Amino acid sequence: MPTCPAPVRPLDDAAAAALTSLAAGLLADHASAVSPALLTALPGACDRLPDAVRHALRPVDTDDGLFVLRGLRLDDRELGPTPGHWSDAGDAGALWDVTLLLVSALMGTPIAWDGQQDGRFVHNIVPSPGHESEQTGASSEVLLTPHTEDAFHPGRAHLLLLCCMRNHDRVATTAASVRRTALDPADVERLRRPVAPILPDDAYEEARRFAGRPDPVPTLFAAPDGLTLRFDPAYTPLDGADAGWREAYGRLGAELARVSVAVSLEPGDVLVVDNDVVVHGRVPFTARYDGTDRWLKRASARVTGRPTRPAAERGEHGYGQAALTAWPV
Ligand SMILES: O=C(O)CCC(=O)C(=O)O
Ligand SMILES: [Fe+2]
């Protein structure tokens, strides 16, 4: 797998400084990165950024379905130890939470989930003892299979943002764009039919106890700009699917593996992924558990009016989960 052929969007020093000082000002005004008032102040703060910065921070607009924003400065010596678990993170790296929220707010509306990481809008992704083999951000020893983020839910993000705090071992995030695959039109037709459901992942304890019937959902969707996908094989039971559909699903997985790129994020990088076009994952690694582990911050945003998903999704129950938005929309 090639390492980082992902498109890089450079942020020049002036733009990086404007963003960082805006984030520092917001954090000083609100004392904590998890303050609800800070969230509602984000759009007004974004309006104060120069046009050039706003342009550099436009959403993903190519068939790669992703880019790496590079240019924000992060000094490892100023960062405390990597938390051992997301629940120990507290205010660690809070300036980066606010920076990531600003980048998200420039592209859409940040969202969060009651049932994930205490409803925080910025998640801490760190390897945690006891979770090594899970299919969640806290794992390490296993391949995190390529997936659409929060694929089980109709309110999932359009954009996923991963900001790298620390990555000494250069562990790669993987990403594959459905628009780079070469699929047989007959397979596309099959996979556009709602055949198998996608269950909530292990990060959502409450949703996993939901008693309602899981609805089958389409895997592919023909949007006006090209194909989009909703794909999470680790949480997709295939028992109700016929053999032809299963084979097509397998060929989609193989094509995504063929076009997959490995992005080894550097401190200060923000990987922006179009969650309708690209599935992402992570290669296996061995956790250090000594305070110097890999550490990412993750935010999610919705972009209103995007024609990238079937209208029928709006009728889904979402396993009783509701996304929270940073401000009323
Ligand atoms: O650790 C990574 O590179 C990606 C993990 C992941 O899938 C996520 O944070 O949503
Ligand atoms: Fe993910």
Enumerate residues with CB within 5 Å of ligand 2 (an ion).
Answer: 149
Out of 111, 117, 120, 125, mutate this one to test ligand 1's pocket (max ligand atoms within 8 Å of CB): namely 125
- Asked whether residue 160 carries a pLDDT value surpassing 90, the answer given is yes
Query: 147 labelled as ligand-binding?
Result: yes
Residue nearest to atom 3 of ligand 1 (CA): 173
* CB of 232 closer than 6 angstroms to any ligand 1 atom: no
| Residue 156, ligand 1, Cβ within 6 A | no
pLDDT at 112: 98
Q: In this structure, what token pair is assigned to residue 99? A: 């920076």
**Minimum-distance ligand 1 atom for the alpha carbon of 147:** 7
Q: Is 192 annotated as ligand-binding?
A: no
Residue 203: predicted pLDDT: 77
Q: Is the CB of 127 under 6 A from ligand 1?
A: no
Establish whether 294 is an annotated binding residue: yes
Q: Which residue segments constitute the domains of the chain, with CATH numbers given?
A: 8-305 (3.60.130.10)
Whether residue 2 has pLDDT greater than 60: no
Q: How far apart are CA 147 and CA 18, in angstroms?
A: 34
Among 170-179, 201-210, 224-233, 280-289, name the one with the lowest average pLDDT.
201-210
Residue 3 pLDDT > 60, yes or no? no
For ligand 1, say whether the CB of 183 is within 6 Å of any of its atoms.
Answer: no
- Ligand showing the shortest atom-to-Cα distance for residue 298: 1
Count of CB atoms situated within 10 Å of the CB of 189 = 13
pLDDT score for 82: 98
Q: 255: annotated binding-site residue?
A: no
ipTM of the complex: 0.98
Segment 64-78 shows an average pLDDT of 96
- pLDDT for the residue numbered 57: 94
The residue with tokens 């690694």 is 285
- Is 209 part of any known ligand binding site? no
Kindly report, residue by residue over 185-212, the tens digit of the pLDDT.
999 999 999 999 999 988 777 878 888 8
Output the residue whose Cα is nearest ligand 1's atom 9: 137
Determine the residue of 156, 264, 275, 298 to mutate for testing ligand 1's pocket, defined as the one with the most ligand atoms within 8 A of the Cβ atom. 298
For the chain, first and last CA: distance in Å?
40
pLDDT digits (tens, 9 = 90+) for 92-127: 999 999 999 999 999 999 999 988 999 999 999 999
Cα-to-chain-centroid distance, residue 54: 21
Mean pLDDT, residues 62-73 = 96
**Are the beta carbons of 231 and 252 closer than 8 angstroms?**
yes
Q: For position 1, what pLDDT does the model report?
A: 52
pLDDT of 237 higher than 70: yes
Q: Where are the beta strands (DSSP E) in the chain?
A: 8-10, 66-70, 109-113, 123-125, 144-147, 159-166, 172-177, 220-223, 226-229, 261-264, 270-274, 278-282, 295-302, 323-325
Separation of 173 CA from ligand 1 center, angstroms? 7
Cβ of 125 less than 6 Å from ligand 1: yes
The reply to whether 246 sits in an annotated binding site is no
Q: pLDDT tier at 5 (50, 70, 90 boundaries)?
A: confident
Query: Is 90 exceeded by the pLDDT of residue 4?
Result: no
Taking the C-alpha atoms of residue 11 and residue 53, their distance in angstroms, rounded to an integer, is 8
Instruction: List pLDDT tens digits, range 266-317.
Output: 999 999 999 999 999 999 999 999 999 999 999 999 999 999 999 999 999 9
Q: Is the pTM of this model over 0.95?
A: yes
Mean per-residue pLDDT over the chain, rounded? 95
Rounded CA separation 167/295 (Å): 7
Percent of the chain with pLDDT over 70: 99
Band (pLDDT 50/70/90 cuts) for residue 33 is very high
